[in-house]
Amino acid sequence: MFRLLTEVSIHIRNFLRRYMRTNILADAILTRRGMNWGPAVMLLSIPYFAAAWLTGLIDQGAPGWLHLLDLLTIWNGFKMLWLGPASVAWLIRARLREADARRRQRVVALSSGSTVSSQSSPRTSPPRCSRAWERASCRAPLP
C-alpha cells in the first residue's frame, strides 16, 4: 500500500512538473540563465491574486467547486512571489561562486608562472533545453 501511494505521488509530481505552466516557469527560473528573470516573475503574481475575486463570486451564489480554483490561483500567486527573492539570492550565490572560480584559476595560473588576463577564463553557457521534460537533465549540478 505504501509503495502504491509513493508511485502515485511520483507520477502526479512528474505530471505537474512537465505540464503545469507555473512549474515550467519555476524550472526555467532555476537555471543560471533564468535567474535574472526572478524579479520580473514576481509581477506575474498580480494576476493570480487578482483572480482571487472568485471568492466574491462564491459568496454571491456561484458553485462551491470554485473554491478549488480560488485556492489554486492563490497558491500560484505565492509561488511567483517566492521565486523573485529566491532567484536573486541564487543569482548572487552563483556569481560569487563564478568569481571565486575565476580567482582560483588566476592564482593557479600565476603560481605556475604563466600570465592570465581577466578575459581568458572560458565562459561556458549551459545547454539550451527547449522541452520541459529536458530541463531537469540540462541543469548543471551545483558543486
How many CB atoms neighbour CB 59 within 10 A? 8
User: DSSP code of 122?
Assistant: -
Residue 12 is predicted with a pLDDT of: 92
For residue 124 the three cell numbers come to: 561556458
How many CB atoms neighbour CB 55 within 10 A? 15
CA distance 141 to 83: 20
CA distance 8 to 21: 21
Q: Is the pLDDT of residue 141 over 80?
A: no
pLDDT one-digit tens code per residue, 44-101: 889 888 887 777 878 888 888 888 888 888 998 999 999 999 999 999 999 999 999 9
